[in-house]
Copies of this chain bind each other. A is one copy, B any other.
Amino acid sequence: MVGGALTGDPEQLVTGLAGIREAMPGDVSFVANPKYQTAVKTTRASVLIIDKDMDVAFGGTLIRVENPSEAFVKLASQVAPHPVSYKPGAHPTAIIGPTARLGKDVSVQPHAVIEDGAVIGDRTVIGAGSYIGHESRLGADCLLYARVSLRERTMVGDRVILHCGVVLGADGFGFETVGGKHQKIPQVGHVEIGDDVEIGANTTIDRGRFGRTRVGQGTKIDNLVQIGHNCVIGDHCIICALVGIAGSSIIGNQVTIAGQVGVAGHLTVGDRSIIMAQAGVTKDVPAGGMVLGAPAVPHKEFKRVNAAVQRLPETLAKVHELEQQLAELRARLTTAS
């Protein structure tokens, strides 16, 4: 399949594919990056695809090729199980409101619910047990996996992928506190998702208080992310798992937000900026900025300060020594004078 030169057992049975570090016996793996060469000694893989000129000590079967990475991807796509497809049409157990409008070749899986006034674009798949609220609109070629919930009036573009358990349009977290009691502020806005967005499993995006909470086209959001009411997320952003963005913050285009970051409310994060993992963003980030830490500061500053912090115990010792030397000097000076 990959056209390489085999050394070792040509009858080796292969049962799976895996990266070299996570491979198990029976797996075929590969080494493209020389830095993984040491992993060859400890890998449990049975077959390795390697560079034709690479020198490795490996007890299993080797396949030497021009480009191991390419060969592995080729192999993987050839042996990959055929993707699951969902037949057009509504399953008899789906509940579809009489005024809902479904496009051509829409697939509505078992136990899905589509409320009145909803509009579903052509070829979109509504996964098993998903809920599409009143007057929500989905574009064409969307793929909603099982158990997705869209509250009323959620607007979704074309080619959007929503993974299992996604919740779009729950009420924003807004209260007015009167005499120590929290009164609910009505959340009458909605959620708008641009074209080509992908949203990970169990992620939640709240509806606007007024107006919209918006995710721009091409933005990809990982699992278990929380986006608050009235946030505006730009185009082509990457937002990793367990990130929380508080209400009314504005994230520019092509922004990267790493895992477990928190962004406070009412902030602006500029285009192409990078927020590193676990950062706590408490003020605006300029375009192209790169921040880290809690509270977040520019990346270089964090590195400089953190290096100083890690050396702090020895600095304290040094200050203590200086005190002693100074006391000694002072004593000598007093004696001398």
Interface residues of A (CB under 8 A from B): 16-19, 21-23, 27, 72, 76-77, 80-81, 83-84, 91, 93, 95, 109-111, 113, 115, 127-129, 131, 133-135, 145-147, 149, 151-153, 161, 163-165, 167, 170-171, 173, 175, 180-182, 184, 186, 188-189, 198, 200-202, 204, 206, 208, 210-212, 214, 218, 220, 222-224, 226, 228, 230-232, 236, 238, 240-242, 244, 246, 248, 250, 254, 259-260, 262, 264, 266, 268, 277-278, 280, 282, 294-295, 297, 301, 304-306, 308-313, 315-316, 318-319, 322-323, 325-326, 329-330, 332-333, 336-337
User: Hey, which chain B residues are within 8 Å of A238, CB to CB?
Assistant: 175, 182
- Asked if residues B153 and A149 are in contact (CB atoms below 8 Å), the reply is no
| Partner of A22 from B230, B282, B297 at Cβ < 8 Å | B230
- Asked if residues A165 and B165 are in contact (CB atoms below 8 Å), the reply is yes
| Partner of A326 from B171, B206, B230, B325 at Cβ < 8 Å | B325
Cα of A238 to Cα of B131 in the assembled complex, Å: 28
- Asked if residues B111 and A113 are in contact (CB atoms below 8 Å), the reply is yes
User: Hey, which chain B residues are within 8 Å of A220, CB to CB?
Assistant: 173, 175, 182
- Asked if residues A163 and B152 are in contact (CB atoms below 8 Å), the reply is no
Chain B, residue nearest A316 (CB): B308
- Output the least CB separation between A70 and chain B (Å): 14
17 further contact pairs, Cβ within 8 A, besides A180-B236, A244-B259, A259-B262: A22-B214, A27-B211, A83-B188, A95-B111, A113-B128, A128-B131, A147-B149, A163-B167, A165-B165, A173-B241, A202-B202, A228-B241, A242-B244, A262-B277, A315-B319, A318-B323, A336-B337
Main secondary structure of the interface of A (DSSP, over half): loop
- Asked if residues B206 and A223 are in contact (CB atoms below 8 Å), the reply is yes
Chain B, residue nearest A242 (CB): B244
User: Hey, which chain B residues are within 8 Å of A152, CB to CB?
Assistant: 81, 84
Give the oligomeric copy count. 3
- Output the least CB separation between A324 and chain B (Å): 11
Cα of A280 to Cα of B315 in the assembled complex, Å: 25
User: Hey, which chain B residues are within 8 Å of A280, CB to CB?
Assistant: 260, 277-278
Cα of A161 to Cα of B147 in the assembled complex, Å: 19
| Partner of A211 from B17, B77, B95, B301 at Cβ < 8 Å | B17
| Partner of A305 from B202, B218, B309, B318 at Cβ < 8 Å | B309
- Asked if residues B211 and A184 are in contact (CB atoms below 8 Å), the reply is no
Q: Given that A204-B165, A309-B305, A333-B336 are contacting pairs, would A294 and B322 also be in contact in the complex, using a CB cutoff of 8 Å?
A: no
23 A-B contacts, Cβ less than 8 Å apart?
A16-B211, A16-B212, A21-B232, A23-B211, A133-B146, A145-B149, A145-B170, A151-B164, A164-B167, A165-B204, A173-B220, A173-B222, A180-B236, A182-B220, A182-B236, A184-B198, A226-B241, A305-B313, A308-B313, A318-B323, A322-B323, A329-B329, A333-B336
Cα of A308 to Cα of B201 in the assembled complex, Å: 41
Chain B, residue nearest A330 (CB): B329
